[in-house]
Amino acid sequence: MQKYEEFISEILIPQERLQQRIKELGEEISRDFANESVLLICILRGGVMFLTDLMRQISIPTAIEFMAVSSYGVGRRSTSGDVRITLDLNTSIEDRNVILVEDIIDSGHTIHSVLEMLSVRRPKTLSICALLDKAERREVDVPVRYCGFTIPNKFVFGYGLDIDDYYRNLPFIGVVDLDKYQPEVKS
């Protein structure tokens, strides 16, 4: 297994800056929903680290739920927004303030499909909180209410974002130098 130091080109967002912005997002959510409660729905797996840090910064009553979705299309990348739920919610979202917690929004197809699926379940409010937004890659307009960082179109990893299922545990967001990264050959 290759060490990340061998292929990282830069630390795009250091740990301290991540944590400061997450604190600000938690404060903003707490103000927006003062005297109410929120249900945070984490889209697995990349959003878990963000969710755990974010919920500690929210001062109003907060519940959590998890969803796993799989998008499919040509070349393992969804181009049509075809999404399949692989893990659905265990609780009703009807008449609740729901915030989807996502690690990164790229083309927008997957999160747009999730929003459509959840909106028919009649939440009181439904919004998105994304740690990272690659706005220049957007193909489908999605209303990101809470955005941590707008980032350039670079291959990023760390802080929940993986490369071949590894490196999610890093406390920062790094950029991959694709010329130096060597994918692990799985047998």
Per the DSSP assignment, residues forming a β-bridge with 39 are 63, 98
Q: Do 157 and 57 contact (CB within 8 A), yes or no?
A: no
Alpha helices in 4-67 (DSSP H): 15-32, 48-55
Per the DSSP assignment, residues forming a β-bridge with 97 are 125
Please tell me which residue in 53, 103, 106, 133 is annotated as part of the active site.
Answer: 106
> For the sheet containing 62-71, what is the strand order?
83-87, 62-71, 38-43, 97-105, 125-133, 144-150
Other Cβ atoms within 10 Å of 122 Cβ, number: 12
Residue 106 known to be catalytic: yes
Place of tokens 């979705």: 69
Q: For residue 185, what are its two tokens?
A: 């050959």
Catalytic residues: 106
